Chains A and B, each alone.
Chain A
Amino acid sequence: MNAIALYFRYIGLSLRGQIQYRASFIMQSLGHLLVTAIEFLGIWALFHRFGNLRGWKLAEVGMLYGLISMIFATADALAKGFDMFGDIVKAGDFDRLLVRPRSTVLQLLGQELTLKRVGRFLQGLIVFVWAIVSLPIDWTFAKVSLLLAAFVGGVCLFMGIVVIQATITFWTTETLEMMNAFTYGGEAASEYPLAIYRGWFRKFFLLIVPLGCANYLPAIAIMGRPDPLHTPQVVQWLSPLAGVVFLTIALQFWKIGVRHYTSTGS
């Protein structure tokens, strides 16, 4: 069986397992929707109070918010195996993955597709659709492609961060809470335009962990809005590539980590 067919076999099993607890699944998805939707309630309230955010309108921020929410929910659902990698290492279960004649990345991705993240995805989608309907965007084929590319690039980027988080576990055995700053924290920071942050913060999220390339730069190009940061248009259109590059580097790092692995023996 080739890798892709095997992945879908894994995921099929995971999904069937989750669907067994139907009521629990529905409650959890709704809960996820509710808990994440209050973030947007906060943004709405701030706009209600202050009117604008450095010249940005609610709908423009809504587009950034919706896009990053969908990206994060998807990456979070796909990369669950890497996210819980600390437990796998601690229990010594990684040994079992290593003796199977398939790549560790494939097996970890196949651990679980977390279905309840659909709640977060949906609320992101709702905000996103509302935003693009209220904004005067003249859609072209190129812009639709850019949007899809931004989505894929963003998912790659967040998966790259989770892969790095998992790789560090080879040395620490413990999942570092610190990495939450880049996953959950990065998502929260990207809900607002990158331009409102201080220079050092912006540079970090453009050049080191390029979260700005996931939603900010592509969204600016799609809205056709002048960028307060004066990035050239070429960069805006090529920005989704940053996520793919980031994931590639993260996977190289993962390979080094696997070679370094010593079992906990438990």
Chain B
Amino acid sequence: MRRYWAVISTRFRMLLQYRAAAVAGIFTQSFWGFVRIMVLEAFYRSNTGASPMNLPEMAAYVWLGQALLAILPWNADPEVRSMVRTGSVAYELARPIDLYGMWYARSIAIRTAPTLLRCIPMTIFAMFVLPLIGLGEWRLIPPPSVACGLAFAIVVVGAIALSCAFTMLVNLAVLWTMSVDGLTVIAVTLVIVGSGMVIPLPLFPAWSQWIFRSLPFAGMVDLPFRLYSGNIPARDLVWLMLHQWIWVAMLVLLGRWWLSHLTQRMVVQGG
């Protein structure tokens, strides 16, 4: 366990160095947030009765999305990518440590460090600065009850575990195809649509809801965000956790099986 912790903490500290980039990112992310909220608000006001979410819930969804953007498995671990390209992945295989566990630990650092850097200033902006500049109706509301807040904190842990398990699959796709084209693009598309980053999942047609809800991507941000704003009642926590952790277990098993399959007959790029 100590070894994995060492992997996490070194990468974490390295990633925390990019503070200036995070601050610069706030401007861009606020801009995106404004565009998204204005679009959703315009649709909402065009036909309020058709909306399964109210305006503060939509605003919370958008701002949490901006704050926790980096939690999503957008990409493969950039170092895995370069290791596969240069062939130095061979050294990784030689280490006396479980490869899946080590790469999973790295994924945890990659998904949490940038998120931590960005979510604090973004939350301050969305929660406290917006009302000051007269945009109070778009602000990020605090959770309506303590239960909602606690439930949100609990499912965020599951969301990170889920996101890392999926990151591992993308890493393995890179290891398998030796490139980032093709499979990874399909994976990213699935993540963006399925997690609710194109539009909040409840706004997709009613007949498609069960598909989105059963996919693993809903557990990454959509369900946690709706739990936060009270769009999903806090008493549903157990079901959401079940959804998340069953998917974590399945993705980890799949990843482990795939990795052992890949390492049995692997061609390493010469450098």
Contact = CB atoms under 8 A, between A and B. Distances in A.
A201 B41 CA distance: 14
Interface residues of A, number: 34
A180 B28 contact: yes
A54 B186 CA distance: 34
Interface residues of B, number: 34
Contacts of A27: 181-182, 185
A54 B32 CA distance: 21
A245 interface: no
B128 interface: no
A176 interface: yes
B176 to A, nearest CB: 14
B186 A34 contact: yes
A138 interface: no
Interface in B1-50: 21, 24-25, 27-28, 31-32, 34-35, 38-40, 42-47, 50
**Majority secondary structure, A binding face:** helix
B27 A31 contact: no
A45 B204 contact: yes
Interface string A36-52: 00110110011011111
Contacts of B32: 181, 185, 188
A156 B25 CA distance: 26
Contacts of B188: 35
Given A28-B181, A42-B198, A178-B28, A49 B50 contact: yes
A231 interface: no
Interface in A33-86: 34-35, 38-39, 41-42, 45-46, 48-55
Interface of B: 21, 24-25, 27-28, 31-32, 34-35, 38-40, 42-47, 50-51, 179, 181-182, 185-186, 188-189, 192-193, 198-199, 203-205
Given A41-B198, A49-B51, A50-B43, 14 more contacts: A27-B185, A31-B182, A39-B198, A41-B193, A42-B199, A45-B204, A46-B199, A46-B203, A50-B47, A51-B50, A54-B46, A178-B27, A178-B28, A201-B38
